[in-house]
Chain A
Amino acid sequence: MSHHLVEFKDVFFRYPDGTEALRGVSFRITHGESVGSVGANGAGKSTLLLHLNGCLLPASGTVTIGDLALTVKSRREIRKKVGVLFQNPDDQLFMPTVFDDVAFGPINLGLEDAQVRERVRRALGLVNGLALVDKPPHHLSAGQKSAVAIAAVMAMEPDILAMDEPAATLDPKSRRLLIELLKGFHHSKLVASHDLDLILDVCRRCIVIGDGRVVADGPALEILSDASLLEANNLELPLSLQRR
């Protein structure tokens, strides 16, 4: 199947302030693959994720999602396929109640009322958040906000999932829950995180981004146990691989 494919070809991107965030990124994620993206602060991980659904467009090079090349015109279609979880849940939860927020995507997809309700129920169930359904987001804890933001993305039932630091605000138990959730998601996914243990648990493959380029790309276990490569990119061995 080609529709869960993600391909970056020589992608360059520069922010208006002159920062060269991506300088020739190329990789290819095939159907059902789970890929972690790691790297130092400011290496370009978040910028890369924003290209996945056209929030940012490459200055040069091409991004292909499924069989669609990313352009201004194809953006809307691509957004139906790619679910992106942003770093800060407060940016993601813009509706006045949890229900409205999780329902936002499904309604925009044009689903019937009953289907929307079912999707909301299922998505909140996935993150153990059914009890929060009528709450306004500003009365939620940081972890609850994350959980709801994840539900809001899952409710759209995307073909491809892209997440930026999904576990940063979660307590260990919720983090474990998220890991199980991600393991159960069998479509393609790209997870950017500094939580290397999470990457190790969830992803088979790992890409190291440094200075806007792909520095290394290979099996997660191999890359995440390469101490000198990790150190060169401001990272360190995952806790589970460290011997004390």
Chain B
Amino acid sequence: MTFDERYFDMGRLDRLSYGETFVHRLDPRAKVLATALFIVTVVSFPPFEVAALVPFFFYPVLLTTLGGIPARFVLRKILIVSPFALFIGVFNPILDTRTVAVVAGWPLSAGWLSFLSILLKFVLTTGAALLLVATTSFPGVCHALRRLGFPALFVSQLLFLYRYLFVLMEETMRIVRARDLRSFGGRGTGAGVHARLVGILFLRTVDRAERVYRAMLSRGFQGDVPMLKRFRMGRRDWAFLMTTAVFLGVFRAFPMTEGIGRLAAGWFR
């Protein structure tokens, strides 16, 4: 993908959040809390757990379907950040070769098991976070955090990160375009030029920060980024949060996969 295309792809996560489904309409706080609960529950499993994690896919699949989010889009985003998880777990199979089980004649080592567990946890948690943003919008999440009592400084940093990410990318896009228009056959695209471009970008950013801060002061900024309250935790929101909590609790406490397996075995006997 060229830089331009990547830029336009970035905006897609926002546009998904304009949807009008049941999931979109939930109070952002309910969704933030549910997602946090989900992530904590998933991460709380011991390092060799694989089977018990599988039922947790129910939550992201449900949100994707109800929220009308294209699953391929979410999967692609997960794939982009997957190297982090891959590198964390990739040496486990080499370092930990104890055999824990024999599957279809092949010995299964503990390392593979923990690697698989890391990958599952990664896909589940990243997927849940992406879905949160896709159904709530980033500002919505920030708004929720602020109202849940997160410090003003923290939330305003997040807001500015989001707002100026796009401006910074546009700025970069303009610089890169200007460079491409005047560099031919490999000339003018070397590392030296790159370093200078980054330097220019940094200087422009500092200038802009100065101007933005002035604009904020001009409109009475006093340290907090104020936003009007526009959500109310209604009965639906509480119901969503409670149901999620109960399901997570049940999935965490009881070996669901085993249960489903036994049930299935019972049917097919």
Residues of chain A whose beta carbon lies under 8 Å from any beta carbon of chain B: 50, 53, 55, 75-76, 79-80, 83-84, 86, 88, 90-92, 94-97, 100, 103-105, 107-109, 113, 116-117, 134, 136-139, 152-153, 156
Interface of B is mostly: helix
What is the interface of chain B, defined by CB distance below 8 A to chain A?
A: 11, 14, 18, 138-139, 142, 159-160, 162-164, 166-167, 170, 208, 211-212, 214-222, 225-229
Instruction: Check A113 against B228 for contact (C-beta < 8 Å).
Output: yes
A78–chain B nearest beta-carbon distance, Å: 10
Rounded to whole angstroms, the CA-CA distance of A8 and B239 in the bound complex is: 62
Check A96 against B142 for contact (C-beta < 8 Å): yes
CB neighbours of A55 from chain B (8 A): 214, 217-218
Closest CB-CB distance, B182 to chain A, in whole Å?
24
Determine if B14 and A92 form an interchain contact, defined as CB atoms under 8 angstroms apart: no
Contacts of B166 in A (CB 8 A): 138
Nearest residue, chain B, Cβ from A120: B228
* A88 proximity list for chain B (CB < 8 A): 211
Do B226 and A108 touch (CB < 8 A)? yes
The reply to whether A156 and B163 form a contact with Cβ atoms under 8 Å apart is no
List, sorted by A's number, 5 A–B pairs whose CB atoms are closer than 8 Å: A80-B220, A94-B164, A95-B163, A136-B163, A138-B167
Of B139, B170, B214, B220, the residue contacting A97 (CB under 8 A) is B139
Chain B residues with CB below 8 A from A76, complex form: 220
Chain A facing B: main interface SS: helix
The complex places the Cα of A30 from the Cα of B215 at a distance, in Å, of: 25
Whether A91 pairs with B215 at a CB distance below 8 angstroms is yes
Q: B135 → chain A, closest Cβ, in Å?
A: 15
Contact across chains for B167 and A90 when beta carbons are under 8 A apart: yes
- Whether A105 contacts B219 in the complex (CB less than 8 A), given A90-B167, A96-B159, A100-B139, comes out as yes
Alpha-carbon gap, A136 to B222, bound state (A) = 23
Contacting pair B217 A79 (CB below 8 A): yes
Instruction: State how many angstroms separate the Cβ of A186 from the closest Cβ of chain B.
Output: 22
Give the 6 A-B CB pairs with smallest separation, nearest first: A108-B220, A96-B139, A138-B166, A105-B219, A107-B226, A91-B211
Q: Are B163 and A84 in contact (CB under 8 A)?
A: no
State the CA gap A179–B205 with chains docked (Å): 32
Contacts of A83 in B (CB 8 A): 218
Cross-chain contact B228 with A94 (CB below 8 angstroms): no
**A108 → B minimal CB distance (Å):** 3
